[in-house]
Amino acid sequence: MQVLGDLVADGRGRDGPLFTAPERTAPYSYRDFCTNAWKGGNLMRHYGVRKGTRVAVVAGPKNPVDGDEPGYLGTAPDPLLAVLAATLDGAIVDVDPPGAVDATALVAPAAWLDRYELGPGTKALAYGGPSDDPTVAQFERELWSENPLQPPGDVAPDDPALAGERTYTHGDLLAASERVVAENDLSDETTVALRAPVTTAGAIVAGLLAPMQAGATVLLGDDDADVAVAPEGVDVPEERVIRPSDISV
C-alpha cells in the first residue's frame, strides 16, 4: 500500500465488521464504510476539495449533550469517514481545528457549528442535527445519493494528508499503522476499543488505520475489547492498551 486510498480500496474487499456499537442494530462493514468513503470523497469535490486544500474535521457524537467534548466519537464513525474521504481527494486534514477555521470545508456535528468562525470560502458540512442553516450541507443525506466510485485524483505517498504537530504524509501514516499492527499483534480476529480523542496522528493511526490494516473490528461505546486505544493516565478495562502519544509517526 502506498497511499490511504489503497487502504480504502482494500477494505472494500472485506466482508467483516469494521465498526460496532451497542446502539447499532447491525455492524458497519468494511465494504459499506469504504464505499461510503469513496462517496464522501466525491461529495467533497463538489465543494472544492482537491489536492493540497485543507479540510477541518471535528469529531463528536451526532447529537452532543452537555459534557461531550470535541474529539471524542459517539457511536457513529462519521468523522473518521470524513477524514479518509478528504485524503482520497489529496486534501490535508486538520482533526483538531482552531475556533477560526480557514479551510475549504469544515465537517462537524450540527450542534457545534456555531462554535467555529468560518472563513469566507469555507463550506460547512454537518452530521447529525440537521442544521437549520440553509447554507450548511447535510453530510449524511448528501453522502447517501453520491457516486459510489473511487474519486479521481493523483495522490502520492509523500503528499501531505494530516495536520498536527507537523504535517504527516500518506506514507508516514501507513508506515506507522503497519508498526502498530506488528507491535500489538492485531489481526482480523482482534477487537479494538477506541477510547481516545481522535485529535492527533497517533489516535488516527491506532484507532482507524492500524485496525483497517489488520482487518480488525473497532468498538465504539463502552463494551470491552481485546485492545484499547486510550490516552496516557486513563484506566480502561482492557489489559492491552495502545497509547496514541507513544506512537511514532
How many residues comprise the chain? 249
Farthest-apart Cα atoms in the chain, separation: 48
Sequence letter at residue 158: D
Report the candidate in 129, 114, 47 with the shortest Cα–Cα distance to residue 82.
47
Mean pLDDT on 58-72? 95
Report the candidate in 56, 169, 74, 179 with the shortest Cα–Cα distance to residue 115.
56
User: CA-CA distance, 48 to 56, in Å (whole number)?
Assistant: 13
Q: Give this prediction's pTM.
A: 0.96
User: CA-CA distance, 54 to 138, in Å (whole number)?
Assistant: 19
Q: Print burial letters for 231-240: b (CB count within 10 Å at least 16), e (below 16).
A: beeeebebee
pLDDT of residue 1: 86
pLDDT digits (tens, 9 = 90+) for 159-196: 999 999 999 999 999 999 999 999 999 999 999 999 99
C-alpha cell at position 178: 503497519
C-alpha cell at position 123: 463550506
Mean pLDDT on 19-24? 83
Q: Is the confidence at residue 23, as pLDDT, over 80?
A: no
